[in-house]
A and B are shown apart, each in its own frame.
Chain A
């Protein structure tokens, strides 16, 4: 079996989500990687150390901005040349946008946001959440078309780079047609904290915070442990937090190592968005709040008393 991993990079480094793809159980498959962008040759060595046998470089200034249209065109030309059985990408904003374009253009099967992927012999098994994690389902591939699969970040652990390994490097020439879409500008986030989908710890506040200002106690605690700040839908609807922080079926689905819900009762649509978190902590005055049914650790108490104490305790532990 031949697998192609689409490598994403930021500031000259492979993204964590890309490295994790090499940690999936890929059996004896022949693993290729493809990198797009300008001046991407230095990424070949780390890809080789992660396990790529061959790294294909599509190096072009026209791909530096990486619009879905240009990446779709470039990879849409390259993939049939390589003719892999499976294309893997991370389920990130870039991968999510790109994979359906490729699947449609290449008449391939598509399975997005998979939380379990393994290849064994010529068998590919994939499982994905449905109903925002209220259940999972296995993806049956009904014919032997190319399979395009995106994998949810944190599904696998990135392997340790093996310095003794190196990949064959092959430049690839593609012919980019005139682009219809133009990337005019990137407006960088004013959020100094990690995004809820990327952070390993998320501290979430609910409507019981009572105001946007009161979220400062959540922020202080999050900052003391390097966490992202999340919000329930009720708190977003009340105007306490921006939509980008919303965790739940109509917001973002997260699965950090630790999820700390403060004053979140646990509406079913919220639980759907965080239930795959590895460890769940709930802090709530109501011992019967549904959030405690999902939580591993619970504190029955008033978040206005407990959360500032947590910030204190975290700072003391850090010795600051």
Chain B
């Protein structure tokens, strides 16, 4: 099988966000970059499927500037066969990214299945999987936390919130967007991380993918940090007094209960 995993490089969850001087983005200095957590599930699922299906290959794709190559090498260290960076600006919108991924998959060969995360934790747009499927003319199942592999088809458990699950069957090829619970991503070993440093990461340029700035439809600007909070009002007293006072605040001041 020809298996693809599409990933995004994002700031680590512990990052404190600082804004750029012009307010139209974040200051990227000192940021620790990681593979977006749901995209690690996509890589893991691709690797597990390859283990079940002899003569399969896993190709990992990521759109973004040069720094993205580090995350692609991490995917190689986890076990992917090859990695390709799509040279797009870091602030490309989800439509551009999805178009670039679809064009790259078209160039690299017929996909049997494409995995991606349900959303990236930077912009949280949750859009690329579904948009990519439209551009590839494939069905898409999003927010998937379990897959049964059948003959030329898969049955997916789709997390629709509140603990409810939709069971959706789709023929392959298809795009699957991964949710937590699908699997437990493996760690790359130190040795494999060192080995992956020497492996090639190919690049496809925007021009090779047929993309220009005209494909951009949105741009994020005027970033703002949340306004500072008023100091916390500490409720004193015995536990019973504190509890009574808090319930009074919830009922009378906030009128929430």
Contact = CB atoms under 8 A, between A and B. Distances in A.
Contact of A135 (B17, B166, B249, B257): B17
Contacts of A292: 232
5 contacts: A108-B217, A139-B218, A181-B141, A184-B167, A189-B163
Interface in B228-256: 229-230, 232-235, 239-240, 242-244, 246-251, 254, 256
B239 A141 contact: no
B168 A133 contact: no
B169 to A, nearest CB: 5
A135 B226 contact: yes
A153 B226 CA distance: 19
Given A141-B218, A244-B159, A310 B14 contact: no
Interface of B: 11, 13-17, 19, 26, 37, 93-95, 98, 121-135, 139-143, 155, 157, 159-171, 174, 180-181, 216-226, 229-230, 232-235, 239-240, 242-244, 246-251, 254, 256-257
Interface in A82-137: 92-94, 96-97, 99-101, 103-105, 108-113, 128-137
B222 to A, nearest CB: 4
Contact of A100 (B16, B127, B225): B127
Interface residues of A, number: 97
Nearest to A182: B169
Contact of B239 (A181, A182, A226, A306): A306
Nearest to A253: B124
A82 B202 CA distance: 44
A110 B217 contact: yes
B124 A132 contact: yes
Given A130-B124, A181-B169, A305 B239 contact: yes
Contacts of B155: 184
A30 interface: no
A63 B175 CA distance: 22
A138 B220 contact: yes
A197 B143 CA distance: 16
Given A140-B220, A142-B219, A296 B165 contact: no
Given A134-B17, A189-B162, A250 B121 contact: yes
A37 interface: no
A180 B170 contact: yes
A243 interface: yes
Contacts of B131: 100-101, 103-104, 110
Nearest to A242: B163
Given A101-B140, A133-B226, A140 B134 contact: no
Overall SS of chain A's interface: mixed
Nearest to A179: B139
Q: Which 10 A-B pairs have the closest CB atoms?
A: A189-B163, A195-B162, A309-B243, A109-B217, A100-B127, A104-B134, A104-B131, A269-B13, A137-B220, A100-B130
A101 B161 contact: no
Contacts of B17: 131, 134-135
Given A129-B124, A244-B159, A296-B233, A109 B95 contact: yes
B164 A187 contact: yes
Contact of A142 (B218, B247, B251): B218
Contacts of B14: 267-269
Interface string A190-220: 1100110110110000000000000000000
A86 to B, nearest CB: 13
Nearest to A267: B14
Contact of A297 (B167, B169, B218, B249): B249
Given A128-B123, A201-B256, 4 more contacts: A104-B130, A108-B217, A128-B220, A195-B161
A292 B254 CA distance: 18
B3 to A, nearest CB: 19
**Residue among B98, B181, B226 with the highest chain A CB neighbour number at 10 A:** B226
B142 A140 contact: no
Interface in A289-316: 292-302, 305-306, 309-310, 312-314
A13 interface: no
B46 to A, nearest CB: 20
Contacts of B223: 130, 135-137
Contacts of B124: 112-113, 129-130, 132, 253
Contacts of B134: 72, 100-101, 104-105
